[in-house]
Amino acid sequence: MTEFLIAVAAVVVVLIFTERIAWRQIARLRAGLRSEVIEQAGSAYRLHASILDLREAWRLAAEDPNPNQRASLTQVENDLRQLISNQLESDPAPPARALLEKLQAEFDSLSRLIQNPSMTSGTARIGPQLARMLELGNELRVANDAAAGAILREADRSLTRLQRFLFLSLLGLLLCGAVVLVLTYRRMVRPLRSSLRESRTLIERQEKLASLGVFAAGIAHEIRNPITAIKVRLFTLQGCHPAGSEEHEDLQVIESEIDRLERIVQEFLNFARPAEPDLVTLPVDSFLREIHGLLRPVLAKRGIRFELDLGADDPVRIDPEKMKQVLLNFVQNAADSIEGEGAVTVRSRHDRQKVDGRALPVVAIEISDTGKGVPAEVQQRLFDPFFTTKEQGTGLGLPIAARIVEKHGGLIQYHSQVGQGTTFSILLPPARS
């Protein structure tokens, strides 16, 4: 959950960072592309054209000094003055301002000559001044074009930087989004799917067990009656044949097989219709010491070490007899998986198990062996009724153990690797104080 929140926070940070940087880039670009800057570039061309209009109007007024021509000259002169004034007020760049100030000085001098009633007296001076004004207008146009070009180049660079930044930000968002999706699947979707599969398996198993319970009761009743009659007749026959005779040996074989059949029927009933456990509160470690003392001599005769590793002396509520049956089954299976010498270890520890999305404390009892391990194809069927890899097994030991542990409110987990052994874990809720 922490990794998921960190990934989501990273996405939010990337979004905020991208928005801030992009906004600054756009604001800087907008400032460089002000309408005044673009207007100044166009005004230089209008100013140059107005100077040309002034020269033409002056020429016409000089050739034909009638009132209409002079009024036209005055109008052009006023337009040029207003145009220069507007450009100075638009806060141009220092180079353009210097040129405009020179142009205004030349224009003021020219305006005084034009306003002289004696047009011919200033003719020699007006022409050169108009030429200087045209030259200054050209310089102003070139300066404004250079400024406008610099602005456009900077705008192009800003757009390129913004484009790259947005691309990298989008790539970062895609990566963060992919991380969020992966974490969402790993932390939420996959556990939900696994939980759903386990729930379906559990429901199917409970349905099968319910049907099997009804079936087992009927079968056990039908089998036990003839078995009882057979055992009565067998006892009578055994009295008719002396010990050591061939007939007496045959009758002993029949008796052992009848006992085996009765044991199978009883195991079948224990699995299909288990009795409710008679719970008492016991320290788990003292209970395991009892199991250890009971089985250590038996395993020692087979060259197998039986070791204890106790680390959770918590009280648990168990039915001692039924839980002893479970542990005996697991220890026996562990010993049977060892070829030659080896070790079986029973340990207790504290753990936490997720139940309905919450991590709850449990007491774990682990039975580990150094045996040959369980193949993957066998692991899938370990708790199936009547599935066994032993020649004399009934395939009900592990299913009965699982039912007993379920009745205690616990569960069984296991891990096995071929050639390295197997570990079964019995997870039980600690007794409430």
In 129-211, beta strands by DSSP E: none
pLDDT of residue 345: 93
Of residues 274 and 429, the one with the higher pLDDT is: 429
Structure token digits, residue 97? 């301002």
DSSP labels, 10-76? HHHHHHHHHHHHHHHHHHHHHHHT-HHHHHHHHHHHHHHHHHHHHHHHHHHHHHS--HHHHHHHHHH
Q: Which of 220, 308, 344, 316 is nearest to 270 (CA)?
A: 220
Q: What is the mean pLDDT of residues 403-416?
A: 87
Q: Which of 245, 218, 399 is nearest to 326 (CA)?
A: 399
Cα–Cα distance, 174 to 389 (Å, whole number): 52
Exposure on the CB side of residue 132, measured as CA atoms within 13 A: 16
Cα–Cα distance, 82 to 43 (Å, whole number): 12
Cα–Cα distance, 345 to 163 (Å, whole number): 65
Among 76-80, 277-281, 343-347, 427-431, the minimum mean pLDDT is found in: 76-80
Place of tokens 């100030």: 101
Of these ranges, 67-81, 179-193, 328-342, 385-399, the one predicted with the greatest mean pLDDT is: 328-342
In this predicted structure, the answer to whether residue 97 has a pLDDT above a threshold of 70 is yes
pLDDT of residue 180: 74
Taking only the tens place, the pLDDT of each residue in 185-215 is 777 777 677 667 766 776 776 666 666 666 6
Among 44-53, 249-258, 260-269, 319-328, the minimum mean pLDDT is found in: 260-269
193-202, Cβ contacts within 8 angstroms, sequence gap of 24 or more: none
Q: Which of 312, 191, 357, 406 is nearest to 426 (CA)?
A: 406
Q: What is the mean pLDDT of residues 370-392?
A: 78
Taking only the tens place, the pLDDT of each residue in 316-367 is 999 998 899 899 989 998 998 888 889 999 999 888 876 555 678 889 999 9
Q: What is the mean pLDDT of residues 292-299?
A: 90
pLDDT of residue 41: 61
Cα–Cα distance, 172 to 186 (Å, whole number): 21
Q: Confidence band (pLDDT; 50, 70, 90) for 306?
A: very high
pLDDT of residue 58: 77
Q: What is the mean pLDDT of residues 99-112?
A: 81
pLDDT of residue 179: 76
Q: Confidence band (pLDDT; 50, 70, 90) for 125?
A: confident
Of residues 345 and 8, the one with the higher pLDDT is: 345
Question: 411 in helix, strand or coil?
Answer: strand
Of residues 321 and 62, the one with the higher pLDDT is: 321
pLDDT of residue 394: 67
In this predicted structure, the answer to whether residue 121 has a pLDDT above a threshold of 50 is no
pLDDT of residue 377: 82
Cα distance from N-terminal residue to C-terminal residue, the chain: 31
Angle at CA of residue 260, ends 258 and 262, nearest 5°:
70
Among 130-134, 155-159, 276-280, the minimum mean pLDDT is found in: 155-159
Total residue count of the chain as it appears in this document? 433
Q: What is the mean pLDDT of residues 284-311?
A: 90
In this predicted structure, the answer to whether residue 369 has a pLDDT above a threshold of 80 is yes
Cα–Cα distance, 383 to 399 (Å, whole number): 5
Name the phi and psi angles at 426, rounded to 5: -100, 115
Question: What single letter denotes the amino acid at residue 164?
Answer: R
Cα–Cα distance, 278 to 281 (Å, whole number): 10
In this predicted structure, the answer to whether residue 311 has a pLDDT above a threshold of 50 is yes
Q: How many CB atoms lie within 10 A of CB 403?
A: 19
Q: Which of 312, 309, 423 is nearest to 374 (CA)?
A: 423
Q: Which of 47, 10, 244 is nearest to 144 (CA)?
A: 47
Q: Confidence band (pLDDT; 50, 70, 90) for 120?
A: very low
Structure token digits, residue 65? 């000094």
Under the phi-then-psi rule, with left for phi > 0, alpha for psi from -120 to 50, and beta for the rest, what region is 371?
A: beta
